Amino acid sequence: MAQEDVFKKIVSHCKEYGFVFPSSEIYDGLAAVYDYGQMGVELKNNIKQYWWQSMVLLHENIVGIDSAIFMHPTIWKASGHVDAFNDPLIDNRDSKKRYRADVLIEEQLAKYDDKINKEVVKAAKRFGDAFDEAQFRATNARVLEYQTKRDALHERYSQAMNANDLTELRQIILDEEIVCPVSGTRNWTDVRQFNLMFSTEMGSTADGAMKIYLRPETAQGIFVNYLNVQKTGRMKIPFGIAQIGKAFRNEIVARQFIFRMREFEQMEMQFFVKPGTELDWFNRWKNIRLKWHQALGFGNDHYRFHDHDKLAHYANAATDIEFLMPFGFKEVEGIHSRTNFDLSQHEKYSGKNIKYFDPEQNESYTPYVIETSIGVDRTFLSIMSASYCEEQLPNGESRVVLKLPAALAPVKLAVLPLVKKDGLPEKAREIIDELKFNFHCQYDEKDSIGKRYRRQDAIGTPYCITVDHQTLEDNCVTLRNRDTMEQERVPVAQLLGIIADRVSITSLLKTIQ
């Protein structure tokens, strides 16, 4: 099945089973804004819990905060967002559609990559076992031609972005003969900068309302509180502050479902270190974060680092952790060495001394910061994409199963009485009443057992138990494993011991310790 079709299926599965709904749907929706349904909110909460606990439980020197979304507007001036949090946009005069100029060029780069990969796949088929991919890439005339064009484009693009040269970005689009996907024409406007922050007003106009911004990242709430936390928590460098919260960006190109939203959620951690040690910490955090992702069990080949070509003026190292989505490798998390830029800027704009006093060195300095910044929604999408499976069963039937990591699954256990009578529903309820304190259980008595299994597979429930007439005699139930579909007979008294460990976030955390 084409990856595009897989993605469409994942989107409709999210809607059909209560994971994600388009926002304001009965009013025809609101572009790039989504609501999480009854299953989605559980999965999202579990992702957040996994991240939060991996930060504040596993690291003695990391604590959390929850800062307000509204902040003093000068914060965004100091951070550079008012002047420089821009995307280069371009319009097609015929279709009246608006695009990000950088995205159009990046898509063109991806087209060259696709062409090269197609040549490689074709040759691999032709030569079979004798195929030497490295040699083919180094010598095949067509591959070399594509690679040369790609490299030249990449070089030109990086230079234009680094120099903020909007005229050159437009010229690249013209020279590469990039057409509007809607009108098919090359009738492009100039490239302009567009600020991504949403603004609103605080206070009544009579009092002189103040223009304030909806935060485009949670990080600044950490920076402006770092000294409060350091002093009240008696923290010593190196230490970190973690935060989960909403962020807002007026994205120009809002596509690909919850990948790029206008309202989204971030999990950010700022790690404050001694100047000069930041690159060492940057590498440590790269490894810690990659391990966190890999522990989800989708296969290490689903992740890769992508080092930034264009470093922000305040960063001295930056990388993305990319995940293999149905539409290619895409950024899920950014890890940035932000130097002392943000803290120095806040010191300058606020006029307050926010230096750290290092008791061991007996000196004050502005700490350097390593940031790990991951999107909850993108993580959600990566997990849904990698978990979605359509399987052909030995009996000729097929099933859709979400092979979610058990610790993140919205429902951990479904309790199914074989029939709706003879005391089986009561027994099933009794079992739920015992287990509901430990994990999320669901009761279902409607339809055949087969149909009920399919419903649980579709929402990713790792275990189902069937309560039958025999249960009333021997107090045992049939425990079914979602992935293997194997069934075993187990005593009710052992259920907690068998399941709790396998579905707990604690168990997942132990694998990354």
**Least distance CB 218 / ligand GAP (angstroms):** 7
**N-to-C CA span, the chain:** 38
Q: Smallest distance, Å, CB 2 to ligand GAP?
A: 24
Select 92 or 382, whichever has its Cβ closest to ligand GAP: 382
**Binding-site member from 332, 413, 465, 467 for ligand GAP (CB under 6 A):** 332
Shortest approach of ligand GAP to residue 15 CB, angstroms? 18
Q: Stretches 60-68, 69-77, 325-333, 389-397: which one binds ligand GAP (CB under 6 A)?
A: 325-333
- Minimal distance, residue 372 CB to ligand GAP, in Å: 9
CB of 104 to ligand GAP, least distance (A): 18
Give the residue with the Cβ less far from ligand GAP, 85 or 388.
85
Distances in whole angstroms, Cα of residue 34 to Cα of each of 25, 314, 368, 474? 9, 33, 36, 48
Using rule CB under 6 A, residue 415 touches ligand GAP = no
Task: Point out which span in 3-11, 164-172, 366-374, 464-472 binds ligand GAP (CB under 6 A).
Answer: 366-374
Interface segment toward ligand GAP; rule CB under 6 A; list 227-235, 372-380, 386-394, 491-499:
372-380
Quote the CA–CA distance of 446 and 443 in Å, as a whole number: 10
Rg (CA), the chain: 26
Is 217 a binding residue for ligand GAP by CB under 6 A? The answer is yes
Neighbours of 283 (CB within 10 A): 15
Closest approach, Cβ 374 to ligand GAP, in A, equals 6
Measured CA to CA in angstroms, residue 209 lies from 68, 198, 202, 203, 248 at distances of: 19, 16, 5, 5, 21
Looking at the Cβ atoms of 170 and 260, the one nearer to ligand GAP is 260
Q: Which stretch binds ligand GAP (CB under 6 A): 42-50, 329-337, 404-412, 484-492?
A: 329-337
Instruction: Give the count of alpha carbons within 13 A of 411, CB side only.
Output: 26
CB-nearer residue toward ligand GAP: 119 or 331: 331
- Name 98's bridge partners: 91
Note the Cα 49 to chain centre separation in Å: 14
Q: Helix 166-175 to helix 141-162 angle, to the nearest 10 degrees?
A: 160
Q: How far is the CB of 378 from ligand GAP (least distance, A)?
A: 4
SS3 of residue 310 by DSSP: coil
User: Tokens for 311?
Assistant: 């470093």
Choose, by CB under 6 A, the member of 91, 94, 331, 358 that binds ligand GAP. Answer: 331
- In the bound state with ligand GAP, the residue whose beta carbon lies nearer, of 40 and 417, is 40
Crossing angle of helices 278-294 and 38-56, rounded to 10°: 140
Which tokens sit at 281?
């910490």
| Residue with smaller CB distance to ligand GAP, 334 or 410 | 334
Say how many C-beta atoms besides its own lie within 10 A of residue 376's C-beta.
Answer: 22
Cis? peptide before 238, omega within 30° of 0: yes
Is 377 a binder of ligand GAP (CB under 6 A)?
yes
Query: Which residues, 243 to 282, sit near ligand GAP by CB under 6 A?
Result: 249, 251, 260-261, 264, 266, 268
3-state helix, strand, coil in the chain (%, to 5): 45, 25, 30
Residues 6 or more apart whose CB falls under 8 angstroms from that of 455 comprise: 444
* Least distance in angstroms from the C-beta of 334 to ligand GAP: 4
Q: The tokens of 6 are what?
A: 């897989």
Q: Which is nearer to ligand GAP, 176 or 333 (CB)?
A: 333
Question: Is residue 334 near ligand GAP by the rule CB under 6 A?
Answer: yes
Which residue lies nearer to ligand GAP by CB, 315 or 467?
Answer: 315
CB of 429 to ligand GAP, least distance (A): 40
State in angstroms the smallest separation of the CB of 258 from ligand GAP: 7
Query: Smallest distance from the beta carbon of 379 to ligand GAP, in angstroms?
Result: 7
DSSP code for 480: E
Give the C-alpha separation, 21 to 35, whole Å. 5
How is residue 362 annotated by DSSP?
Answer: T
Site for ligand GAP (CB under 6 A): how many residues?
Answer: 19
Q: Which residues contact 124 (CB under 8 A, 6 or more apart)?
A: 131, 133
Q: Which CB sits closer to ligand GAP, 230 or 266?
A: 266
Q: CB 58 → ligand GAP: shortest distance, Å?
A: 21
**What residue type is assigned to position 368 of the chain?**
Y
Look up residue 356 and give its two tokens. Answer: 């750290």
Asked if 468 touches ligand GAP (CB under 6 A), the answer is no
Residue 88 as a binder of ligand GAP (CB under 6 A): the answer is: no
DSSP characters over 139-202: H-HHHHHHHHHHHHHHHHHHHHHHTT-HHHHHHHHHHTT---TTT----B---EEEE---EEEE
Q: Which stretch binds ligand GAP (CB under 6 A): 58-66, 112-120, 375-383, 495-503?
A: 375-383
Q: How many CB atoms lie within 10 A of CB 32?
A: 22
**Among 286, 378, 412, 480, which residue sits at the site for ligand GAP (rule: CB under 6 A)?**
378
For residue 444, state whether it binds ligand GAP (rule: CB under 6 A). Answer: no
**Site for ligand GAP (CB under 6 A): which residue of 219, 244, 324, 435?**
219
Binding site for ligand GAP (CB under 6 A): 217, 219, 249, 251, 260-261, 264, 266, 268, 331-334, 371, 373-375, 377-378
